[in-house]
């Protein structure tokens, strides 16, 4: 499947992923900034930022990304929700940027649950 072949539902799903990742990034930065100078949490937050940017760049510019702020205050849970949505559209032969995003989000979940951000 190519990204050009996405239907409205797929596009909405990726837009939902963007919102989840952006909210996760916002919460991660809140924690990193509270950690003061040299906070190791900034590494995780930059990772979530990059994932959110990659997800947003999967969509054409005309797609509106505005929407309700996802509920939740735990970046790991928001990442897990994003991963579930991505899994739904990463079925047979997904485009490589989408596959890369899926694996990046999976790695971030692992980091969130096992590393300094656990």
Partner 1 sequence: MPTRDRRTVGELLADSDSLARETLLDRSADHSAAMVRTWGQVVDAAARLWAVLPPAAPVRRSEPDLMPRLRQMANGIAASTSAGHWPGPGATDQQLLQIAHNLSRARILVERYGGDVQPTTADVRGDIAAARARIMHTLYVAAHGTALAITEHAKDLQDQLQMDTRRRRPMAQRPSSHEIKAAQALSIRFGVFEQLVGAYVAAHPVTPAVLAEIRPVPQASRLQSVLASWDIQAHRTIVANPDAADLVRVSRIQALIASATAVVSEAAASQGIVDRQVVQRTIPLLDETQVAWSQVARRWAELTSPESRVDPLLVRAASEVRATVVATASNPTGWATPDEIAGRVDLTRAMSALHLNMASSLDVAYLTRDIAATSPTLTAPARQIAMRAQGEAEIAAGQGNTEFEGMTWATERQIAANQLIPLPTPARLGLIKATDHVIASCNRAVAAAAPLEPSESAEIRQPVRAPAIRRSHQVPKMPPQEPAPRGPQR
Diameter of the chain by CA atoms?
Answer: 45
Residue 2 lies near partner 1 (rule: CB under 8 A): no
Angle, in degrees to the nearest 10, between helices 75-89 and 96-114? 150
Residue 36 lies near partner 1 (rule: CB under 8 A): yes
Residue 57 lies near partner 1 (rule: CB under 8 A): yes
Report how far residue 23's alpha carbon sits from residue 19's, in angstroms, rounded to the nearest whole number.
Answer: 6
Residues 6+ positions from 8 with CB-CB distance below 8 Å: none
CB-wise, 56 or 105, nearer to partner 1? 56
Residue span binding partner 1 (CB under 8 A) among the ranges 3-11, 32-40, 78-86, 87-95: 32-40
Binding-site ranges for partner 1 (CB under 8 A): 19, 33, 36-40, 42-43, 45-47, 49-50, 53-54, 56-57, 61, 64-67, 114-116
């Amino acid at each position: 499947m190519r990204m050009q072949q996405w239907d409205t539902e797929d596009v909405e799903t990726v837009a939902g992923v963007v919102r989840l990742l952006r909210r996760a990034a916002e919460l991660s930065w809140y924690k990193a900034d509270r950690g003061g100078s040299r906070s190791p949490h900034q590494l995780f937050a930059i990772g979530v930022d990059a994932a959110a940017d990659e997800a947003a760049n999967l969509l054409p510019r005309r797609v509106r990304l505005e929407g309700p702020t996802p509920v939740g205050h735990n970046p790991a849970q928001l990442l897990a929700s994003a991963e579930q949505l991505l899994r739904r559209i990463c079925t047979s032969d997904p485009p490589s940027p989408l596959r890369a995003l899926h694996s990046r989000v999976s790695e971030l979940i692992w980091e969130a649950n096992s590393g300094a951000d656990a």
